[in-house]
Chains A and B, each alone.
Chain A
């Protein structure tokens, strides 16, 4: 294992994590909702009354955040390396998988782990493990 110290951004990543934790805390304690992004989107695809607007506004906040950030500082780099056929396959897998598995990095990885939910511990171990394995296969076995 070689650590890429030049790209290591501990302070930024920790600060970003604190902001995510605060957002989870706010949505939970003020609104009584769980900040699981795949679940928030999924609820829009099978909408029930009085359960739509808060989801749309939360997602709108996510979309607007880079625009707002760019008003005050230069947006940090964002680079998508995958080509479009891979992106399509990846998107399908992420969309279908997170709904089948009832959660993603936020719902299982942050909310679930922080309340020690056994389901989320299992889910997070599996998607992290398969994430590591997929990158290993693509970068070190196939190419």
Chain B
């Protein structure tokens, strides 16, 4: 049941990305281009998602377990360290260069655009590189 729900949730998430315009990198870059012809549409994606998500997190905090009986562990780290800030900085630069973040990157696979494959391969390489560096330190 868990797995069926994961699949359905991925589908709904992907449809949301498509309908919102997040799977169009040109639109994402137009959203990030404050000094050019600015397309503010994508600010409304957060506007639509956050109220619903906020209610869900509020309920999750009260219940403590999911409907399928799994304990809901919300991230409890509160420290703001160099990893968080540097990582977000690098992500922001990459996002600004291509207009693609991880969710839309995966959904773009289904569009079959050749250029998206290059981005996704590089994104996986970047994640794997991080995994290697942290594994060495342990």
Task: Give residues in A with beta carbon < 8 Å to B.
Answer: 1-4, 7-10, 12-35, 37-38, 41-42, 45-46, 53-55, 57-69, 75-82, 84, 86-102, 104-106, 108-111, 113-115, 117-119, 122-124, 126-136, 138-140
A-B contact pairs, 11 of them (CB 8 A): A7-B27, A27-B6, A61-B7, A90-B98, A97-B86, A98-B101, A101-B88, A110-B50, A127-B92, A134-B92, A140-B35
A92-B96 Cα distance, complex, nearest whole Å: 13
A111-B24 Cα distance, complex, nearest whole Å: 22
A45-B135 Cα distance, complex, nearest whole Å: 12
A14-B22 Cα distance, complex, nearest whole Å: 11
Inter-chain contact B78/A118, CB cutoff 8 Å: yes
Considering the complex, give the chain B residue whose CB is closest to the CB of A18: B48
B86 shortest CB reach to chain A, Å: 6
A123-B106 Cα distance, complex, nearest whole Å: 22
A89-B121 Cα distance, complex, nearest whole Å: 11
Inter-chain contact A134/B115, CB cutoff 8 Å: no
Count of chain B residues near A, Cβ 8 A: 119
Query: Which of A20, A41, A86 is B127 in contact with, Cβ under 8 Å?
Result: A41
Residues of chain B within 8 A (CB-CB) of A117 are 75
Inter-chain contact B88/A17, CB cutoff 8 Å: no
Q: Provided the pairs A12-B41, A66-B18, A134-B97 are in contact, do residues A101 and B87 lie with their beta carbons within 8 angstroms?
A: yes
A19 shortest CB reach to chain B, Å: 3
Residues of chain A within 8 A (CB-CB) of B45 are 13-14, 16-17, 20
Q: Which of A31, A59, A80 has the most CB of B within 10 A?
A: A80
Inter-chain contact A94/B101, CB cutoff 8 Å: yes
Query: Which of B66, B71, B95 is A28 in contact with, Cβ under 8 Å?
Result: B66
Query: Which of A16, A32, A53 is B71 in contact with, Cβ under 8 Å?
Result: A32
B65 shortest CB reach to chain A, Å: 7
A9-B30 Cα distance, complex, nearest whole Å: 12
Residues of chain A within 8 A (CB-CB) of B122 are 87-92, 95
Inter-chain contact B118/A13, CB cutoff 8 Å: no
